[in-house]
Amino acid sequence: MWSYWSVRVRIRIAIRLFLIAVTLTTLASAQTAQSSPSVDTARARYETGVAAYREGRYREAIDAFLAADRLSPRAALSFNIARAYDKLEDVAKALEFYRDYLRREKAPQNGAETRARVKELEAALAHRGVQQISVRSNPSGASLRIDGRLVGTTPWTGELTPGKHWAAVSAPGQPEQSREFELLAARAIDLELDLNGGTTSGAVPPKASGESTAAPVDHRESRAGRGVTPWQWVALGAGAAALTASLAVELSRQGIEDDLPSTVGRDYDARYDTMESRKVTARVLLGAGAALAITGGVLLYLDSRAQSSARIGCGPGGCVGRWETRF
């Protein structure tokens, strides 16, 4: 039988974990609320860019969209920048930002059209005898050399003649990392270099053939797990429901964000406010779901650690049975 004190300890642990998770969620929501001035400024920059784009002032539109993206990053802003460069007939820059949009937006609604435009721009560069490459490093901000020549810092995008080249990145206090790559004439490529060396944690060595992995059997005891309690079902079920709701709200928010590139300036304020509101709601639901899931998981773990042992000792006077519960 579970002792009264064991139950109280388990409940206190679960409650504390729940409160910690809820506190972290509240702090995340507060941080989002505090960042609203930056969001408002980004919105103003966006609207400035929209106005400039409509009036054919594409350079000003690009500057405004870039400023908005620095304040509140949005994949749709890369798409708008690419469109502005397209209007200026700047093939290389338009290709760079269309590719950046596809890199940032995993499932764009206008993905087929954008990829088709990327192919056209790649073909235009190939006709000039060059092709585009984007180099990134982990961490970013590393010095980049191409074929021994310093070209800038990562992330970097530029055009090279097709063929084999050599890229090297370096940063203070870290060993240089380099790689040979081949740039094809027909399409642009991405190259990533890891200044940390890409080390991995050690693997557990495999067991020798025929080695047993079974735990030794204790013939003196018979053990039985307590099983899942109603409290665990409630916590795990509520956590799953909250996480599912969070996913649904986040998907609807992403849907609104995906529509922004194709609805520039139309009902922007209302759609932007709705998108930001759903972002906060999704985070709150995510935090609550995580808190409940953690609570249910801890209760399940504690129950799995609890072992019930039936011990029987026999002597000249007979046999005595004892039931114990321990962690």
- pLDDT, tens digit, 9 for 90 and up, residues 121-131: 999 999 999 99
Answer whether 0.85 is exceeded by the pTM: no
Please report whether residue 214 resides in a domain.
no
Within 8 A by CB and 6+ apart from 279, the residues are 32, 250, 253
Tens digit of each residue's pLDDT (9 = 90 or more) over 85-115: 999 999 999 999 999 999 999 889 899 999 9
Between 66 and 33, whose confidence is greater? 66
Within 8 A by CB and 6+ apart from 102, the residues are 108, 111, 114, 115, 118
Any idea of the CA torsion for 283, 285, 291, 295, to the nearest 10 degrees?
-160
**Residue 292 and residue 281 share a domain:** yes
Last residue of a domain, one of 128, 149, 167: 128
One-letter amino acid of 280: V
CB count within 10 Å of CB 140 equals: 13
**Residue 116 and residue 134 share a domain:** no
* pLDDT score of 82: 97
Name the residue range of residue 148's domain.
129-196
* pLDDT score of 302: 59
**Residue 240 and residue 176 share a domain:** no
> Are the beta carbons of 254 and 271 closer than 8 angstroms?
no
**What tokens were used for 46?**
């966006």
CA separation for the pair 190, 185 (Å, rounded): 14
Residues in a beta bridge with 321: 312
* pLDDT score of 8: 62
Last residue of a domain, one of 88, 110, 128: 128
Q: How confident is the model at residue 310 (pLDDT cuts 50, 70, 90)?
A: very low
Please report, for the domain that includes residue 95, its CATH number.
1.25.40.10
Last residue of a domain, one of 128, 147, 171: 128
* pLDDT score of 320: 41
Please report whether residue 218 resides in a domain.
no
Tens digit of each residue's pLDDT (9 = 90 or more) over 161-204: 999 999 999 999 889 999 999 999 999 999 999 998 753 333 33
Q: How confident is the model at residue 12 (pLDDT cuts 50, 70, 90)?
A: low
**Residue 152 and residue 86 share a domain:** no
Q: What are phi and psi of 318, to 5 degrees?
A: 125, -165
| Helix, strand, coil percentages, rounded to 5, for the chain | 55, 20, 25
* pLDDT score of 230: 64
> Are the beta carbons of 282 and 250 closer than 8 angstroms?
yes
CA separation for the pair 89, 99 (Å, rounded): 16
* pLDDT score of 47: 95
CA separation for the pair 91, 259 (Å, rounded): 25
**Residue 81 and residue 28 share a domain:** no
Q: What are phi and psi of 108, to 5 degrees?
A: -70, 145
Between 138 and 312, whose confidence is greater? 138
Q: How many domains does the chain have?
A: 3
In this model, does residue 250 exceed pLDDT 70? Answer: yes
